[in-house]
Amino acid sequence: MTVLSYLQRYLTENPFYTDTDPRWRQFISDYILILKEKSTVYNVTAQMAEIYYQDIPGLLRHIGSNTDPRADWIVRLVNDLKSDLEFTGAITLYVPSTTVVANLYDVWRTPLQNEV
């Protein structure tokens, strides 16, 4: 399998993980309050923050959340973090589940399918 075919399959199977479509990114931004409301809350201790310093995907893997680490850009948006560089200390982290994000993606895609 070539790298290109792997990436194409990855994006086809998991389109909501990417933030390359500005319309999808805006849709997620518009629904931040709903995402935050339906998120699991994790109190990240100073010790955990030190271990996963500037590494939100690593923290998501560690806590075994129901969010794929590839959706870290959504976790950053929900928590108003501009980048992993801002993840440097103890924090209350809101982590939306993959199911919630996938459902939002389906809602977003429905009107787009009518455009074709």
pLDDT confidence of residue 15: 62
pLDDT at 3 over 80: no
This prediction's pTM: 0.79
For a pLDDT cut of 90, what percent of the chain falls above it? 45
Per the listing, tokens 């935050």 go with 36
* Mean of the per-residue pLDDT values of the chain: 83
- Among candidates 81, 82, 108, which has minimal Cα distance to 22? 108
- Among candidates 113, 114, 105, 106, which has minimal Cα distance to 18? 105
pLDDT confidence of residue 79: 95
Report d(CA 55, CA 51) in Å as an integer.
9
Reading the block at residue 86, the tokens are 């801002």
pLDDT confidence of residue 31: 93
Q: What is the mean pLDDT of residues 34-63?
A: 92
